[in-house]
């Protein structure tokens, strides 16, 4: 069969038409017709063939058959910009693939859609782009073209070279390809406007490299991959690629290595996936190492990866390596960003805010450096104004730190960060202490801690970092600093009682206090540890044993105050363990000891606790009277404002609960409503939840019952964050009864 160009020319001449006349009849430009007849362009897409057939008055099917024959006749000839080999064991990316499918449907008269797939090295950006190009083969009859722009090379591909390769791949005659980049860019857009092509522009370096290559209008589709966000590109869609989900990671490993598919390998495979950070490149290397070593098991691979110092070395196979992939991005950093990158390896927590980076570098403005790391995929954003490393990139940063900085500098940098974190933690924690409750005079820290809320927000956001710093100084034997930090957290910890990390904090401070000459500090922190065991770990049996150890040591020291507090914490433990009479005796003895030495803060905290226990024991009238007596004592004694607020809120909440338990619903509702603003001011979820529970129960009893639903729903939310397990169960049960009656 004659070539398509010859066939088109013969058909045009046979119809007695000039190129210009056929252009007018078909709507296809005379220049495009000339290119097709001379063989200087590929056979056109279907809509162009239909238009030409209509202008010529010939059968469109025959014209398409001739064009298809020309396409097929090119089989086996070397061509540029062919797609890479498809990955056979591709897993996951369901949502991303669906998004790309939806984006692929461009309109001929509108801008050709462009999607940027970006993210750190090793996420499988290229595999995703090639996968979608393969899936959409039938939708792009004029070709699918792949070009590696070498954006991570020291010398990325020049724009002119990229344009030349694409134009040649689209069979534009080399004699007709323009000399200047600007003219080549126009040529490429003109070709793409008349064709339905899919472009994969892989490993893009920057916006300037891409702009001349991108199509204008047309029904084609372009997928760009880059380690950079390429935020300067206008009118494009973006996919920020993330690591695989755990199940997908395990599936990839099982698809590569037979050992990973064994039924008994499940837990080890999950661990390998986690140690690989669910990064496709790391998973593929790990799977390949396992598959090529028949004597290895998944458990053996897990053990090799478990050594953090050796993990990146294990994740190398042939010419593939996770560290090598990261190094390509690292090489593009400015000197300042390199220093920032390696020093961020000192951060002890999972994520961090810019002030920690400022402390590590000694620079006041680190935002540009952080943005540079994010842009190159070496750092991830985490919510607003926070950052984190991927686990494997953190290991790479640690390698760079050991390689590029002397040991003395590393030690000094780490110490400055740790000291800053713990100094700030002490200042923030003391906002909640009755003896402080404000910012120290002359405070000039990097963090705005001008209010109680700002202090609480910082302590919450940087929990992993100040606790990580606390571990470091504990290991270094800086015992008094450990105790000072834990002491500063005493009142703040009541606001976050459900957090298990308090047991670790007070374990460290108890151990540190045991090394100090003042044994009274040791007793204090033993008591704090008892509280953490009972309320945070929910181990009242352990909490009671620890408290009685503190009681014994306090007795040996003649420390009446800490004896009383030890009994209070023992009472808490026994109450939570269901040992009510024993708890009541402990509370009453603790109350007597506190009163005997005028420890008013302890005394007013204990009286509501006695009322609570009486209520739990079903002695409602006694509980109501005890709560009222507690309120009178709070007003009569010289108590610091915050302990007074805590005790007052607690007394009201317990009194209201006892009234409700006694069936005095109207009084219970009134008491709870009166206490609600106090509980909101104190800010503890347990008190608020208790009050909403009482209000909900009262409204359900007084009717109409539907008015109780908001309070009960709120009570469930709040009590789930505290240590009041029985109250949470009661709130859920009451809400379920309300639903059943509806």
d(CA 98, CA 176): 39
- The region of weakest confidence among 69-73, 312-316, 462-466, 630-634 is 69-73
Q: 608-629 pLDDT, tens per residue? A: 999 989 998 999 999 999 999 9
Please indicate whether residue 302 or residue 70 has the higher confidence score (pLDDT): 302
Weakest-pLDDT range from 142-151, 191-200, 487-496, 725-734: 725-734
Tell me the two tokens of residue 550. Answer: 């503190």
Q: What is the pLDDT of residue 78?
A: 47
Of 315-319, 434-438, 689-693, 718-722, the one with minimum mean pLDDT is: 718-722
β-strands 198-202, 114-118 pairing: unpaired
Structure tokens of 539? Answer: 């181990």
Look at residue 201 and give its three-state secondary structure: strand
Q: What three-state secondary structure class fits 320?
A: strand
pLDDT tens, position by position, 340-391: 999 999 999 999 999 999 999 998 889 999 999 998 889 998 877 899 999 9
Sheet strands side by side (includes 144-148): 144-148, 198-202, 221-226, 114-118, 237-240
Q: Is the pLDDT of residue 57 over 90?
A: no
Average pLDDT for the chain: 88
In this structure, are residues 530 and 552 in contact, taking their beta carbons and an 8 Å threshold?
no
Instruction: Map residue 88 onto helix, strand or coil.
Output: coil
Name the residue among 686, 701, 310, 363 with its Cα closest to residue 493.
686
Q: Which CATH number fits domain 4-73: 2.40.50.100, 1.10.260.40, 3.90.1150.10, 3.40.50.620?
A: 1.10.260.40
Place of tokens 């009569």: 636
Question: Where do the domains of the chain lie?
Answer: 4-73, 94-240, 246-318, 326-405
How far, in Å, are 377, 380, 414 from residue 384 at the CA level? Answer: 17, 11, 25
Tell which wins on pLDDT, 228 or 73. Answer: 228
Q: What's the mean pLDDT in 133-151?
A: 86
Helices marked H in 498-559: 501-513, 519-531, 540-557
CATH code, residues 326-405: 1.10.10.10
- Under 8 Å between Cβ of 92 and 51: no
Superfamily for 94-240?
P-loop containing nucleotide triphosphate hydrolases (3.40.50.300)
Chain-centre distance of CA 24, in angstroms?
Answer: 58
Query: Has residue 170 got a pLDDT over 90?
Result: no
What pLDDT band is residue 511 in, cutting at 50, 70 and 90? very high
Its pTM stands at 0.78
The DSSP code sequence of 207-245 is HHHHTTTS--BSS-EEEEEESS--TT--S-EEEE--PPP
CA-based torsion, 305, 311, 312, 316: positive or negative: negative
Mean pLDDT score, 83-102: 86
Q: How far apart are CA 380 and CA 374, in angstroms?
A: 6
Nearest in space to 202 (alpha carbons), one of 106, 294, 82, 286: 82
More confident residue, 642 or 456: 456
Digit-coded pLDDT (tens) for 194-204: 788 899 999 99
Would residue 683 be called left, alpha or beta, if left means φ above 0 and alpha means ψ between -120 and 50 degrees? left
What are the backbone angles phi and psi of residue 670, rounded to the nearest 5°?
A: -65, -40
Instruction: Give pLDDT tens digits for 241-272.
Output: 999 999 999 999 998 888 888 888 889 999 99
Beta bridge partners of 116: 224, 238
Per-residue confidence at 539, pLDDT binned at 50, 70, 90? very high
């Amino acid at each position: 069969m004659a070539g398509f160009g010859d066939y088109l020319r013969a058909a045009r001449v046979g119809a007695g038409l000039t190129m210009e006349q056929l252009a007018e009849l078909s709507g296809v430009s005379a220049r495009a017709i000339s290119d097709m007849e001379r063989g200087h362009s590929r056979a056109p897409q279907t809509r162009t063939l239909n238009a030409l057939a209509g202008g010529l008055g010939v059968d469109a099917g025959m014209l398409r058959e001739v064009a298809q024959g020309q396409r097929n006749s090119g089989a086996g000839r070397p061509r540029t910009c062919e797609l890479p080999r498809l990955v056979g064991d591709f897993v996951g990316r369901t949502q991303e693939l669906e998004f790309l499918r939806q984006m692929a449907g461009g309109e001929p008269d509108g801008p050709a859609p462009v999607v940027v797939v970006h993210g750190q090295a090793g996420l499988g950006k290229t595999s995703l782009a090639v996968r979608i190009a393969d899936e959409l083969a039938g939708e792009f009859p004029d070709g699918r073209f792949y070009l590696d722009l070498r954006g991570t090379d020291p010398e990325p591909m020049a724009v002119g070279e990229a344009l030349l390769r694409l134009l040649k791949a689209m069979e534009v005659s080399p004699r007709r390809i323009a000399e200047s980049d600007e003219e080549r860019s126009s040529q490429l857009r003109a070709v793409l406007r008349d064709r339905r092509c899919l472009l994969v522009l892989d490993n893009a370096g920057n916006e300037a490299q891409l702009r001349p290559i991108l199509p204008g209008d047309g029904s084609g589709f372009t997928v760009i991959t880059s380690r950079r966000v390429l935020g300067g590109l206008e009118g494009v869609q973006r996919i920020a690629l993330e690591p695989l989900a755990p199940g997908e990671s395990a599936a990839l490993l099982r698809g590569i290595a037979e050992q990973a598919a064994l039924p008994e390998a499940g837990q080890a495979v999950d661990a390998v996936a986690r140690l690989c950070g669910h990064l496709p490149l790391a998973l593929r290397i790990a799977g390949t190492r396992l598959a090529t070593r028949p004597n290895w098991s998944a458990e053996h691979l897990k053990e090799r990866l478990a050594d953090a110092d050796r993990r990146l070395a294990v994740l190398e196979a042939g010419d593939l390596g996770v560290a090598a992939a990261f190094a390509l991005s690292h090489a593009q950093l400015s000197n300042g960003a390199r220093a920032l990158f390696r020093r961020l390896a000192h951060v002890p927590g999972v994520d961090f805010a810019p002030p920690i980076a400022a402390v590590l570098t000694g620079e006041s403005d680190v935002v540009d450096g952080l943005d540079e790391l994010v842009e190159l995929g070496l750092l991830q954003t985490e919510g607003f104004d926070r950052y984190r490393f991927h686990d494997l990139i953190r290991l790479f940063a640690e390698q760079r730190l050991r390689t590029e900085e002397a040991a003395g500098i590393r030690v000094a940098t780490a110490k400055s960060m740790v000291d800053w974190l713990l100094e700030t933690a002490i200042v923030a924690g003391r906002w909640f202490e009755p003896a402080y409750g404000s910012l120290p005079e002359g405070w000039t820290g990097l963090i705005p801690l001008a209010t109680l809320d700002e202090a609480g927000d910082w302590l919450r956001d940087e929990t992993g970092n100040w606790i990580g710093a606390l571990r470091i100084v504990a290991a270094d034997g800086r015992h008094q600093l450990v105790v000072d930090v834990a002491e500063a957290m005493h009142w703040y910890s009541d606001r976050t009682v459900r957090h298990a990390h308090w047991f670790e904090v007070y374990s460290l401070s108890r151990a540190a206090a045991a090394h100090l000459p003042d044994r009274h500090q040791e007793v204090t922190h033993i008591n704090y540890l008892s509280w953490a065991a009972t309320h945070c770990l929910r181990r009242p049996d352990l909490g009671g044993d620890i408290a009685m150890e503190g009681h014994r040591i306090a007795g040996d020291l003649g420390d009446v105050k800490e004896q009383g507090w030890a009994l209070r914490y023992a009472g808490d433990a026994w109450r939570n363990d269901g040992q009510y009479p024993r708890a009541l005796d402990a509370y009453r003895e603790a109350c007597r000891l506190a009163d005997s030495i005028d420890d008013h803060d302890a005394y007013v905290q204990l009286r509501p606790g006695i009322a609570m226990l009486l209520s739990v024991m079903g002695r409602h009238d006694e509980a109501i009277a005890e709560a009222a007596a507690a309120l009178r004592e709070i007003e009569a004694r010289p108590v610091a404002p915050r302990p007074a607020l805590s005790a007052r809120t607690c007394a009201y909440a317990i009194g209201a609960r006892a009234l409700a338990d006694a069936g005095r619903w109207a009084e219970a509702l009134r008491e709870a409503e009166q206490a609600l603003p106090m509980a909101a001011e104190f800010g503890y979820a347990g008190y608020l939840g208790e009050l909403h529970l009482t209000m909900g129960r009262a409204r359900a009893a007084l009717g109409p019952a539907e008015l109780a639903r908001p309070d009960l729903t709120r009570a469930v939310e709040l009590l789930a964050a505290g240590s009041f397990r029985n109250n949470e169960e009661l709130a859920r049960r009451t809400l379920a009864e309300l639903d059943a009656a509806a």
